[in-house]
Amino acid sequence: MSRNVLFIGGSLNQTTMMHQIAQRLEGCNAYFTPFFADGFLGLLARAGLLDFTILGGRHRRQTLRYLREHNLPIDEGGKSRRYDLIVTCTDLITQKVLRDTPVVLVQEGIMEPEDWTFALVKYFKFPRYLANTAATGLSDQYEIFCVASEGYRDLFIRKGVKPHKIAVTGVPNLDNLEAFRQNDFPLRGYVLVATSNARETFKRDARLVFLQQVKRIAAGRPILVKLHPNENRRRAIREIERFLPEAQIFTDGDIYPMIANCDVLITQYSTVTFAGLLLGKETYSYLNLDELKKLLPLQNGGKSAQRIAAICQDLLNRPRLERKKSPFILQPKPQFLFSRDLGK
């Protein structure tokens, strides 16, 4: 009997990851949905008040466009049928349908540093989304959590994720970065700046100080700025044009070929920092680069989606695992300073 599997998208990166996994899952009916929420959050999203998140706005439009362009069956909110398995990239919000169905959680990218909001989630049971990706994995509302590397396995165990629920698979879109060296992006030999959506998620972002640091690091070299897809574009462009009038600004496009062709990569809190390190670029970040090197995603030639699909297939063929609660440990807040790696 054919099984029904729901893949929950979100950002375009999350949606393409879900599609890759679905393509490698055989003997199942795969359905897709943009990210959604129940209850009060769902009402806010439908009112357009959460368009700065993956619950609406640009992310929802891009996901729906991608699903339609690839002729993928859409079941918004997973409401049209019962599912045997659900695959998602985030458990910061756990929809009702996840509570009654086996779930595979797939790590999307880098985790944000743990700060005071993480403490609220841990000690006072505030909603996980307040701590953003720092709280990934803490729901325990999944059977298996597929993670990027052994380093991340250790990190999630420290946070409180049950070891037997973690599978080190690598993650799609981050498991074959060398392939981006072959690209048709026309520019080379520049300083690439990847901005953050920290302000949109109510985090600290001394953007003007950041741009001054960029100017100092660039030291007269050409500057390209790739805006985070989830930040306020008008505000960001206005700031860049004021402090870095010579910079070229990109609001769209694949950042990974841009990284492959740059000499220097400057990030704030971004998954693409991994690409700079793995491709041997001179890299600057607010994140601790020595710590990130311990977390680098597996480079397995693009096999992560197949590994995750195999886990999904296995779950469809065996009983659901038991769930147990476990504590997690709060870590000190990182300093707001650049960390530097000179590459290879």
Domains in the chain (CATH in brackets) are: 3-175+297-316 (3.40.50.2000), 177-294 (3.40.50.2000)
pLDDT at 108: 94
265 strand-pairing partners: 192, 283
- The enclosing H or E element of 106 equals strand 103-106
Q: What is the DSSP string of 232-254?
A: -HHHHHHHHHHH-TT-EEESSS-
3-state secondary structure of 29: strand
Q: What mean pLDDT is reported for the chain?
A: 90
The mean pLDDT of 40-67, rounded to a whole number, is 94
Amino acid at 238: R
pLDDT at 341: 67
pLDDT at 139: 95
Instruction: Of 127, 157, 170, give the one whose Cα is nearest residue 296.
Output: 170
The mean pLDDT of 108-128, rounded to a whole number, is 90
Structure tokens at 320: 């659901």
**Which residues are within 8 A (CB) of 9 and not within 5 positions of it... i.e. 6 or more apart?**
15, 18, 32, 33, 34, 35, 63, 66, 67
The model's pTM: 0.88
Bridge pairing between strands 85-88 and 28-33: unpaired
pLDDT at 330: 33
pLDDT at 2: 80
| Residue pair 280/344 in contact by the 8 Å Cβ criterion | yes
Percent of the chain with pLDDT over 90: 79
Q: CA dihedral defined by 21, 22, 27, 32, rounded to 10 degrees?
A: 150
| Residue pair 133/122 in contact by the 8 Å Cβ criterion | no
The mean pLDDT of 244-249, rounded to a whole number, is 96
